[in-house]
Homo-oligomer: A and B are copies of this chain.
């Protein structure tokens, strides 16, 4: 079953790092994307933001340099998550993180 999202954008909030009781490291951040895409043969402006979570020791090295303003490309699968407020949202579970420019 295909489930693959590749999205580049700017990190909009300071990443939050945590560790599960089993010792698995997690890094949560928000990725903001702006671009022009084509739809029905017409150009259109596109905006979106998505919550991203990256889990596991393998990705920890990659997430160390993530901070607000960093331009990055992220890839992984999407999953639906219902928040405490009962509102659901799609979350990108990243298995690939590539820093495009540090945003200095």
Which A positions have Cβ atoms within 8 angstroms of B? 1-9, 24, 33-35, 37-41, 46-50, 55-58, 73, 77-80, 87, 89-90, 93, 95
Q: How far apart are the CA atoms of A102 and B24 in the complex, in Å?
A: 41
When the two chains form the complex, which single residue of B3, B5, B9, B78 contacts A4, counting CB atoms closer than 8 Å? B5
Residues of B within 8 A of A78 (CB): 5, 7, 48, 50
Residues of B within 8 A of A39 (CB): 55-56, 93, 95
Copies in the complex: 2
- Given A3-B6, A3-B33, A90-B90, list of 17 further CB < 8 A pairs? A1-B33, A1-B34, A1-B35, A2-B8, A3-B7, A3-B8, A4-B5, A4-B7, A7-B78, A24-B40, A37-B79, A39-B56, A39-B95, A40-B55, A40-B56, A48-B78, A50-B90
